[in-house]
Structure 1
Amino acid sequence: MRRWLRQHHYALMVSLRRLAKQPFSSIANVLVIALSLTLPIVGASILLSAQPVLREVSVSPQLTLFLEQNVTAEQNRALAQQLQRDHGDVISSVQSIPKAQALNNLKSNPGWSSALSVLPGNPLPDALVVSLRDSENQAEEADRLAADLADLDGVDTVQLDSEWVRRLQAIMHTARIGLGLLGLGVILVVLATVFNTVRMQALTQREEIAVARLVGATETFVRRPFLYLGAMTGIAASLIAIGVAALALVPLNEALGHLAASYGAQFALQLPDASSLLLATVAVAILGAAAARWSVTRNTRF
């Protein structure tokens, strides 16, 4: 165990010395990876911060069933019970709005009170407001339910505005795909940058590696400092990217705060939780080590 620790300590010190010998190149490589990592971190912050707001917006899509004029109060209640019984898996609640209540609500609005006062009677129908349960495919379920309810006896018209739900889902789906493609691009940047860095280091240390092999050094011993080099590059770039992303959110939150305040709301972007950031840092370190191993294996065959 002590020998294993001594070997890894030696490899780590060798990697640090190699980085210190070329400070400008090392810093440039770390910054390239860090800036590439900043974009997906900010994108993930926007998506994660928007999720609670979107859940509040789309938590209860509704259908409004306007009943025929000849439907009685008893038939109205029976229809509401039938909806709960037959479609309880997708319906959260059914609210009955009598025509008299709807008329009074309109009369309470000054813009409608004068116009409604000249009507001889109540032209409004009874209505049932159907709230749907939250689900992954709200728009599709709302469309299917609207088509089924339109054929019920006593139902004159079904009003459904599911287009905004569909658009919202499409926007979120597109954003997730874009973030995934951005993450793939970052992976390629990390691989290419670390591969090229290790390649230059391997060519620079060509004679040293050859001598080490002559005195009996194993391939694992030769590769280990380069693996540490790739991992440390990934860790340093990840930490810098997290710091840059946190700084970038400050002006964004200030602008979004003014915009949200104009709508009487509060909204702020937040970085992903610490466990997610730690997991991402470890993933980048592993990716850097893998790229380093690939590079040193290809470029030290001499």
Structure 2
Amino acid sequence: MATDPRRKPETARGAAASRSPWRQQAESYLNHHRKVARDSAERLWRNPVASFMTWAVMGVALALPVALLLLLTSLEGVSAGWESSARLTAYLQLELPEERAHELREEIASDGRVTEVELVNRDQALAEFRTSSGLEEALDYLDDNPLPHTLLITPEQGARSEAGVEGLVSFIQAMNGVQRVQVDLGWLQRLNAMTDLLARAVWALSLLLAAAVVLVIGNTVRLSIESRRDEILVAKLVGGTDAFVRRPFLYTGAWFGLGGGVVAFILLQLSLWWLSGPIERLAGLYRSEFTLNGLNFDGALALIIVAMLLGWLGAWVAVKRHLDDIEPGEIAGG
């Protein structure tokens, strides 16, 4: 039996027709989102002064905690570098023979928390002191060598924290023949305490400023809702859903967040450029390699995304609070 070749195109058209409502609905949804996003951006550009003031407020509020976080990260890097270069100096008893000093060196080196132990005997220490001090003639008047044998101990990587160094100091100090163990942990303890305090202050400030950003955007969107009250009433009268009415304001909040994030990034880069010279000169005076690191690409992207989320959240809070108060019955009542 022959098959009519016209049936296949008809079948294809029927399948396309059966899929078209879903496709049309999806395309209509996406097109509406694009139109609302474009219209929201155009409304901001039509009021450049008010929009820029809002972006500036958001930029300052976002840049301040991010700048403090960058400073905190740089300080933590400096602290980690100082911890990694920590070395203990163990002064042995003056009358301790050199054989016993070698035994102590081997005993300490066998500990898993120690990477390297260097023995500086009394004669070597005196020779180095004579060379570096410039007191050769005065040292010639000494009857005996006043310097003890010394052990220079380098902790293992995992023991280079404040607690690890303190534990190693207690272990070495308790050994027979050790007079004193010297390591300056006071500055490290103070730096860690200041860093911890700064970290908590930065997070508290970040939360407060994030709340301020949400309130600023919420108040701005609230004013926009009030100015478009009649438009909202008409949209609800013709059957517009809450999501349909809410969408333009949410996009407005997101655009405010995007602009605020860009302004914050620009402020951070300008501040870094302005401060980099004095910071480098100050670090050079203290023979430090401290540098203030800026935002990389991932950090800048995260800043902008967080700003857009805060803007969206502020708009959502304002819409949720004020849009429900606008009902179509107001027209009938008026």
TM-score computed with the length of structure 2 as normaliser: 0.83
Pair member with larger Rg: 2
Identity of paired residues, percent?
Answer: 29
Determine if the alignment matches structure 1 residue 22 to structure 2 residue 44.
no
Aligned counterparts, 1:1-302, within 5 A = 1-85=26-110, 87-88=111-112, 90-135=113-158, 138-263=161-286, 267-301=290-324, 302=326
- How much has 1:300 moved relative to structure 2? 0.9
**In 2: Cα distance, 1:106 partner to 1:266 partner:** 28
- How much has 1:131 moved relative to structure 2? 1.8
CA displacement 1:36-85 (0-9 Å, x = unmatched): 12212322333334444433333132222111234333322221222232
Structure 1 residues 137 and 96: CA distance shift in structure 2, 3 A? closer
- How much has 1:286 moved relative to structure 2? 1.2
- How much has 1:265 moved relative to structure 2? 5.6
CA displacement 1:245-294 (0-9 Å, x = unmatched): 11112221121233234445665433121102101211121121122111
Bigger mean CA offset, 218-227 vs 134-143? 134-143
Contiguous gaps of at least 5 residues in structure 1: none
Match of residue 14 from structure 2: none
Match of residue 23 from structure 2: none
CA displacement 1:155-193 (0-9 Å, x = unmatched): 122222111111121222222222212211220121111
Question: Contact 1:38–1:241 at 8 Å: present in 2 too?
Answer: yes
Structure 1 residues 182 and 137: CA distance shift in structure 2, 3 A? farther
Question: Aligned to 1:109, what secondary structure does the other structure show?
Answer: helix
- Residue 93 of structure 2 aligns with an amino acid whose one-letter code is E
Bigger mean CA offset, 253-262 vs 145-154? 253-262
Question: Contact 1:64–1:128 at 8 Å: present in 2 too?
Answer: yes
**In 1: Cα distance, 2:301 partner to 2:34 partner:** 23
**In 2: Cα distance, 1:210 partner to 1:133 partner:** 71
Question: Contact 1:48–1:272 at 8 Å: present in 2 too?
Answer: no
Match of residue 9 from structure 2: none
- Residue 138 of structure 1 aligns with an amino acid whose one-letter code is S
Question: Contact 2:36–2:251 at 8 Å: present in 1 too?
Answer: yes
Structure 1 residues 29 and 174: CA distance shift in structure 2, 3 A? same
Question: Contact 1:12–1:225 at 8 Å: present in 2 too?
Answer: yes
- Residue 91 of structure 2 aligns with an amino acid whose one-letter code is F
- How much has 1:154 moved relative to structure 2? 1.3
**In 2: Cα distance, 1:233 partner to 1:136 partner:** 48
**In 1: Cα distance, 2:203 partner to 2:159 partner:** 20
- How much has 1:5 moved relative to structure 2? 1.3
Structure 1 residues 258 and 155: CA distance shift in structure 2, 3 A? closer
- Residue 152 of structure 1 aligns with an amino acid whose one-letter code is M
Bigger mean CA offset, 62-71 vs 156-165? 62-71
Alignment root-mean-square deviation, CA:
2.1
Question: Contact 1:97–1:128 at 8 Å: present in 2 too?
Answer: yes
**In 2: Cα distance, 1:136 partner to 1:125 partner:** 26
- How much has 1:21 moved relative to structure 2? 4.5
